[in-house]
Structure 1
């Protein structure tokens, strides 16, 4: 009958050591990526606050085009009508979507005047990261925004923002698909409306 290998054998010790090293390096890499996500979120928050202080559609559009994954957000917002977006319409649709989002933020900036913000921790969210921020208004109230960041080309892009639990991208999809449902899914009409 073969003898079992003792638990303190070199083979077991090496295996445990390799597993521990792998876990340590994986944990270090994740922690480093989390720190990068937080650093990026600070840039986003700074640019959005600057846009907020200007309060113009143009200032918000610049921040959105710099930081958001506009193409992915725009196409998601089409819902079941996504296949109706012709290749020749894409650029105008993406530009119009960025403008639509900028108008929303510009409108909100007049009603909810921001005093400052705090960027919290980054947490893995599938392949993405969620970064929680707290926004403090001039009237003394505060609310939480959870930003979803994806890794893109060695950096990050904003994929969504949840304000008090509500996904802005999901709400936007509801607006776009409702518009299209009343126009037989004619994406050209949506593109035209977004770019007026």
Structure 2
């Protein structure tokens, strides 16, 4: 989205990291690693994201994101110090816009990355509540990315709360984009909501 300024890390840019993350979720898993329920859930995530990738539309990605991502917690975190400025009447539009923002990015970046194969590793408990699932994606150009997914328990199952590729956190990078936008507009969340829903 042109309204957002995106500061670049020194070597691996945010665009490359996010695109690698996007590429990771587009591939169906090549191996079944374990029987942990979080691993089984990640197979569902991969399948839905692969279907979205094949359609290549923002709408298809948004459906998968709304199904599997913990959009509210991601959206709250992405506001950073401006979270308290999000009014009750703005929340639904903001969360919908947050999902749209992610879907637009994934739809845009997915066109540049061709998958060779994708592997899901084992699940491990984070703090007794969250679960991390490690995975690796192999691109046709010979590159590979290790992706660590953080899942949180929600309604008897899981939701994706974050993903890290080469140390870059999806929600941390998104928070940088959102808070940078807001800092240039005196923290006016209404402008952010409007931009996300254009």
TM-score by length of 2: 0.79
| Aligned residue-pair number | 164
2:105 counterpart residue number = 104
CA distance in 1, matches of 2:58, 2:166: 23
Listed one character per residue, the Cα deviations across residues 126-182 of structure 1 (whole Å, up to 9, x for unaligned) are 120110111122223221111100011100000001122200100000000000000
Is the alpha carbon distance of 1:159 and 1:151 closer, same or farther for their aligned partners in structure 2, counting shifts above 3 Å? same
CA distance in 1, matches of 2:160, 2:58: 18
- Structure 2, unmatched stretches of 5+, are 1-34
1:191 counterpart residue number = 193
Instruction: Please report the RMSD computed on the Cα atoms of aligned residues, expressed in angstroms.
Output: 1.4
CA distance in 2, matches of 1:113, 1:193: 30
Listed one character per residue, the Cα deviations across residues 58-97 of structure 1 (whole Å, up to 9, x for unaligned) are 1111110000000110011000000000000000000000
Of the two, which has the highest radius of gyration?
1
1:117 and 2:118 matched: yes
Following superposition of structure 1 onto structure 2, how do residues 59-138 of structure 1 map, counting pairs within 5 Å?
A: 59-126=60-127, 127-138=129-140
CA distance in 2, matches of 1:58, 1:97: 13
CA distance in 2, matches of 1:115, 1:55: 18
